[in-house]
Each structure stands twice: as C-alpha cells, then as structure tokens.
C-alpha cells in the first residue's frame, strides 16, 4: 500500500475568495471522517488572498478516487464555476519515504 498525497491549488474569482474559503472549509470535516483519509488541511496564501491550497494524504490512490466520488465533493464540483477562476491545479504524489512517526 502506497500513501498518496494530493495538493490542490485553487484560485478564487475576483471578489469570491471568502465564499470559496467557506466552501472549502466545509469540506474539511467530512473528508477527515473518510476511512482512507490520513489528513486533510486547508491553507490560504499569506501573500495572495485569492489563492487557496488543500493538502491531503490518503492511504491509497483508491481511497483518493473514492473521495472525489462522494456527495460532498460532487457538490463542491458543482460550485466551482461560481467560485473558482480557471481550472483547479491538482497535483498527485506518491510517498517514497516511510511516514514520519506522530509527534506531540
């Protein structure tokens, strides 16, 4: 089993950044509850308030694909035309190192 990382860079339409941020934030908890989710974190650029990033790690590529098919993700896809400028920039990576142990 290979952990998969998905990094999504999402640019808000002019004047829609806060609305996009609220919509993205609403994806965090249901995504974190998915069985294959290791982490799912939302970030906003410190220098470009219209640029958002979702950083997520999954147990497997199958878990990531299942995530995209779930109702909360499909509903977000429907909202993209009103919130997002251009295409989503999705980048998928496969982990090559061993996962780091959790630290407290």
| Ramachandran bin of 89, using left for φ above 0, alpha for ψ from -120 to 50, beta for the remaining angles | beta
Prediction pTM value: 0.90
54 contacts 76 by C-beta, under 8 angstroms: no
- Beta strands per DSSP E along the chain: 4-11, 37-44, 51-58, 89-94
- Structural domains for the chain: 4-94 (3.30.70.100)
User: What token pair was written down for 83?
Assistant: 């919130």
pLDDT digits (tens, 9 = 90+) for 1-50: 578 999 999 999 999 999 999 999 999 999 999 999 999 999 999 999 99
Token look-up 């290791």 returns 38
pLDDT tens per residue, range 49-64 = 999 999 999 999 999 9
pLDDT of 98 > 60? The answer is yes
């Amino acid at each position: 089993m290979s952990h998969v990382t998905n990094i999504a860079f999402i640019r808000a339409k002019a004047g829609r950044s806060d609305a996009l941020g609220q919509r993205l934030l609403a994806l965090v908890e249901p995504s974190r509850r998915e069985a294959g989710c290791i982490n799912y974190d939302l970030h906003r650029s410190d220098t470009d308030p219209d640029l958002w990033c979702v950083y997520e790690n999954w147990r497997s590529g199958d878990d990531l694909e299942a995530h995209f098919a779930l109702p909360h993700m499909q509903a977000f896809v429907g909202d993209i035309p009103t919130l997002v400028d251009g295409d989503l920039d999705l980048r998928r990576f496969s982990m090559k190192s061993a996962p780091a142990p959790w630290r407290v």
